[in-house]
Structure 1
Amino acid sequence: MIQIPRFIFFVFACAWASPSAWAQTATSVALPLSSKQQTALGVQVAPLQAANAGAVLVTASVVAPPGKEVAVSAPYPGQVSRWLVGVGDTVKAGTPLVQFTSPMLGDARRQLNEAALDYKNASAAAQRDQAMFDEGIIPAVRLQLSRAKQEAAQAQLHSREAELSAAGVRFDANTSYATGTLKAPIAGVVVDTAGTVGQRVEAGSVLVKVADSSQLQLDMQLSNEKASLMQAGDEISIPARNAKAKLLGVTRSVDAAQSARARASVTQRGSLQAGELVSVTVHPKGKGATAKPDTQWLVPARALTQWRGKPWLFVTTEQGFEAVPVNVLSSSDDTAFVEAALTPQRKVAVSGIAALRGLLQKDE
């Protein structure tokens, strides 16, 4: 009878095992390392953070609520002649944002002045005819004709004013005839500017975005698996920003990119800023929110490394480090939710991972 070596039998067994079974079968590997060697390799550590069972890690965009972010666009083809604000500036409604130059803007200004002059002349003519009618010099039909011309001139003036008002343009005495100033439609923070001075842009090109950041929301793009675990009302924590949020809703269908969407309202702002990307932890209701400090942990995503087809962590020991296999339950760009038998007193390496992995592979 042919005897199969135990080592070969172990390799085949691991190949057929499930990921969770492999996590239990794979053993940790000791990496003796002195403090001087750690410094030379650039190894830095961070403490373990206990996690709640069922937590879902997601990367979210911090945005203003719908209707609280406004884009200021170029009203005509032209060019930016001067920037008056920058990203991060706080503005009030009506604050000048950018000076814009366009031949069509000069023509619109000319038509506005002509309409104002026509209305002034029509009003003077109507007043004169009213006085002459009161004295019985002219018939009523002539007065009616004068008033009709006055109303037509007024309508034309209002049309020209509305055109420039809709474009958010106002004119200053110290600028050229074809240059106007675009103003902020709402109070808020400038979150984006586009183009440079002298750059030609087409009509409708977005020049500035202003957002009212008094209330913030989180916009999340999810895998269908993560979306199925979440529901409206779930609590969300952002430890890195000392902020909290509450889930408003989740789409159950996926888009062409095979991802679902979710939106949350920020209840505790902390240091969140509109426009940034943050890693958040969603705590689903009824998904087993019991704390398990001995098996489930939140660690920086950069602390994980792949070896032998499995994610590993480098955990501190008295002699240096120990490579520990883990099971990744959820992850985002910055944070990973892992399962491993560890203790809260231990720390994980967050830099110098490549050097530690090289030590792990040296005997292969």
Structure 2
Amino acid sequence: MTTLVLCVDRTNDIGRKTGLRTPVSGWEAVQSLVVDVGLADPEDTSVNCLLEALRVARDLRDEREEAVVAVVSGESDSLVGADRSVAAQLDELVETYDPESVVVVVDSAEDERLVPVIESRLRVDAVDRIVVRQARDIESTYYLLKQFLADEELRQTVLVPMGIGLLLLPLLLLRFESPALAGAFIASLLGAVLLYKGLAIGERLASVPERTRDALYSGQVSVVTYVVAAGLTLVGIFLGGLEVSALSTDYGVVVAAIQFTYSSVPWLALAALTASTGRLVDELIQNDEVGSPYWNLPFGVVALGLVVRGFTGWYLERQEIIQEASIPGLIESVPATYRLAAFIVAGLVISIVGVAVASNVADETLDVR
């Protein structure tokens, strides 16, 4: 049984500082690499990671286990390219040594993200993360701050929002003359920046043009329906805002919110129906089999819109903001409760019809098989 002791360097610090290409395998080769990395940058934690990999391999050999120590790194400027580079190097090591398991040695959370890639190829017995102990004195703190300021990504994530907040603070104090209000604004700004970074919104927005281009080239109907849905959503929001602005100022916030929902929900439901229909058409064009959720979604959207419209209309009728419904020639006035019940029943019926349609489509697919 051969165990691979693998030191992972996702950001390719070892390759950039030594000029060597990975993978590097074997006791003597990794020992020589420790010296090269240490001479290039004695403060680099990769030195400790390499030494830990050698120590783990030595301990395994002392226990009469066959162990091979190796180093892989991400030789690419992009994260995806780096991960694929590590995967290719790991495949090369597996082909050369044919190990049965691997012990992963990392020195950061960034490197630890490659564990799933390694697990897809070998059984991971352990993950050893190195934490370098630092002397608790002023000099050590100074060097930690120096390393922090040298990291471009950390500077952009932490220092830039703090600098913007400090620049805005005196302007806000002059404008509002309230420290509490100015502090709340700064806290909201910093919170928005942290959420932007934490949720990776920038990466998602960066991929939008590429995904849109791929969708246009592939001829997807949903591209058009999404644009139509966005327009219908704006129309619904606009009409809801107009209805709220026409309300008397005597009504509270709750009534205004319900009025906005009542006026905008037909357009919002129509927007959701348009988008879901476009997605359904794409599935019908691209795939021979369409899952039941795609069939059920349009019916669910309509049913939900009817139920919300019914409840909001019942509340506005009770407040005498909208007039009671009537059926010309039959009923002059339909009570609010009956009207609400009709909307609920209609929503339930449409929802049940959607489930039945989705089930029938699924059964037909099974019969074809």
| TM-score (ref. length: structure 2) | 0.24
Q: Max radius of gyration: which structure?
A: 1
* Greater per-residue strand proportion: 1
TM-score by length of 1: 0.24
Q: Which has the higher relative contact order, 1 or 2, with Cα contacts under 8 A spaced 6 or more apart?
A: 1
